[in-house]
Amino acid sequence: MRVLSVDPEHPDPAQIEKAADAIRTGGLVAFPTETVYGLGADAMNGDAVARIFAAKGRPAWNPVIVHVANIADARLLAAQWPDDASVLSQSLWPGPVTLVLQKAPQVPDIVSAGLPNVGIRIPAHPVALALLEAAGRPIAAPSANRFSEVSPTTAAHVIRSLGDRVDTVLDGGPSGVGIESTVIDLTGDVPCVLRPGMVSRDRIELLLGREVDYRRSDDLESAADGRAQASPGTAARHYAPRAEVWLFESVDIESLQAALSSRLDDDTNNSLRVRALLIHTRDGAIAGRMERRRMPATPELYARELYRELHDADDAGVVLLLIELPPRHDVWIAVHDRLTRASR
Ligand code: TXA
Ligand code: MG
């Protein structure tokens, strides 16, 4: 594996060309986007895309997103381009939104996991855009982590998760949005959010001038995989750190304290490493031996730091991670979604 470091705003064309050459010759390139790092391959080369699935250990039923440099290239991948796609692509691209559309026949079936649809987005990151331009073709890229792990927001996260399973890592600094794109399905009668992200359903409804459904696609996938969805412990672990995660609301601090105290009492040799990620709860409000970290109180800043904190907890050998839930308000939906997944 080689690491190519580039300036996030003005990447060196010579370094970009090396990465683009790897893409054109069927290699795997991890690259920064504004959401998380992607593990990229030539989307039109089925063998190259198969290497993504192998490197991630990703099940074949989970389709990958295709990244393009401009709207004209996006249209070439779709069999139909509904008015909603025009509105959303013009208003929200480049940006953290993936549109699911009927796929054009030339898109390899492995990209869409055999589905008739393809997810497409233009990333808002100068390094990703430079790579797409230089490669001269669409790049299929899921998040650059092993299946079910927390997505990477730095090159170091990618290297730790994938190591030599990736040929080239473009290091363009930390991702600014910090959680994955909003995925919106435009193939049905009613648009449907399949994964919440920092572009909210409200914003999409406002742009389209009509109601939009919500149905989490990973949940459908685990059903399609034949696993029981609701039974604890068998649900697909996605976006999850190794540490055991307890989510709590500040109003439930007493029951948290009771559970924590009994856990700490059992830990007679003080070996259990505990860390708390707090938003509003005062440091002194929870008693016991633990590290306390302060999380930002706005959704944008919280999302930007969340995965870094989850990776950092694992690096530090944290065994039990207590996370204070943000307010139950619409602006926090995407963060809540990732926290819930991290705790499974
Ligand atoms: O922000 C992002 O979207 C990042 C960066 C790298 O672009 N990519 C990413 O990819 O998160 P991945 O593969 O980890 O997640 C893709 C999500 C999955 O939930 C997948 O099921 C859904 O998008 N998806 C992709 N193609 C789809 C399709 N054709 N139909 C339905 N869902 C699709
Ligand atoms: Mg992923």
pLDDT digits (tens, 9 = 90+) for 101-114: 999 999 999 999 99
- CA–CA separation, 308 and 178 (whole Å): 8
Q: Using CA positions, which residue lies closest to atom 6 of ligand 1? A: 38
pLDDT in tens, 173-185: 999 999 999 999 9
Query: Ligand 2 mean position to 142 CA, how many Å?
Result: 6
This prediction has a pTM of: 0.94
pLDDT of residue 237: 59
Please work out whether the CB of residue 62 comes within 6 Å of at least one atom of ligand 1: yes
Q: Is residue 216 very low, low, confident or very high in pLDDT (cuts 50, 70, 90)?
A: confident
Q: Hey, how many other C-beta atoms are within 10 angstroms of the C-beta on 86?
A: 12
Q: Is residue 218 very low, low, confident or very high in pLDDT (cuts 50, 70, 90)?
A: low
The proportion of the chain whose per-residue pLDDT surpasses 90, expressed as a percent, equals 89
Please work out whether the CB of residue 101 comes within 6 Å of at least one atom of ligand 1: no
- CA–CA separation, 174 and 155 (whole Å): 8
CA distances from 31 to 62, 148, 157, 319 (A): 20, 19, 12, 30
DSSP reduced 3-state for 154: coil
Please work out whether the CB of residue 337 comes within 6 Å of at least one atom of ligand 1: no
Of the segments 22-31, 215-224, 232-241, which one has the largest average pLDDT value?
22-31
Ligand nearest to the CA of 77: 1
pLDDT, greater one: 244 or 228: 244
Q: How much is the average pLDDT of 211-238?
A: 56
Please work out whether the CB of residue 153 comes within 6 Å of at least one atom of ligand 1: no
pLDDT in tens, 5-56: 999 999 999 999 999 999 999 999 999 999 999 999 999 999 999 999 999 9
Instruction: Please determine whether the domains at 2-219 and 244-342 fall in the same fold group of CATH.
Output: no
Are 158 and 32 in contact, with CB atoms under 8 Å apart?
A: no
CATH code at 2-219 = 3.90.870.10
CATH code at 244-342 = 3.40.50
H helix or E strand, kind and range, residue 39: strand 38-42
- CA–CA separation, 35 and 154 (whole Å): 11
Q: Is 293 exposed, middle or buried (0-12, 13-18, 19+ CB in 10 A)?
A: middle
Query: Ligand 2 mean position to 256 CA, how many Å?
Result: 30
Q: In the chain, what are the domain boundaries?
A: 2-219, 244-342
pLDDT in tens, 20-34: 999 999 999 999 999
To test ligand 1's pocket by mutation, which of 28, 61, 64 has the most ligand atoms within 8 angstroms of CB? 64
Q: Which residue has the tokens 């929200």?
A: 92
What's the distance, CA 20 to chain centroid?
23
Of residues 251, 255, 249, 267, the one with CA closest to residue 320: 267
- CA–CA separation, 79 and 105 (whole Å): 8
